[in-house]
Amino acid sequence: MPGAPQGAVPLYMRVAEQIIKDARRAGGDTSGLRRIPAERVLSASLGVNRQTLRRALEHLRARGLVHTDRSGTYTYTGRGAPARPVARARPQPLFPVGGSFGGVAVRSRARLSYEPVPPTVEALLGLSPERPTLVHRHELTLLCGETVQEAVSYFSPTALAHVPRLGRRVRRVRTRAAQSDPDLRHLYLWMTESGLHPVRRDRVRVDGSGCERMWLAVRQFVHDQFDRPLELTDLRINPRRGELDYAFVLPS
Query: In this model, does residue 12 exceed pLDDT 80?
Result: yes
Main-chain dihedrals φ then ψ at residue 159, nearest 5 degrees? -65, -45
Contact indicator for 23, 36 with CB cutoff of 8 Å = yes
pLDDT at 78 over 70: no
Q: Per-residue confidence at 180, pLDDT binned at 50, 70, 90?
A: low
pLDDT (tens digit, 9 = 90+) per residue, 138-167? 998 888 888 889 999 999 999 999 999 899
| Number of C-beta neighbours around residue 242 at 10 A | 19
Identify each DSSP E strand in 84-214 by its residue range: 99-100, 106-115, 133-142, 147-155, 179-180, 199-207
pLDDT of residue 4: 45
The dihedral of CA 73, 77, 79, 84: what is its sign?
positive
For the chain, what percent of residues have pLDDT higher than 70? 77
The answer to which of 49-63, 126-140, 167-181, 232-246 has the lowest mean pLDDT is 167-181
Query: Are 22 and 35 within 8 A, CB to CB?
Result: no
Domains of the chain in start order, with CATH, are: 11-76 (1.10.10.10), 99-244 (3.40.1410.10)
Closest by CA to 249, choosing from 33, 59, 57, 64, is: 64
Residue 20 or residue 7, greater confidence: 20
Rounded CA separation 181/73 (Å): 31
Q: How far apart are CA 159 and CA 162, in angstroms?
A: 5
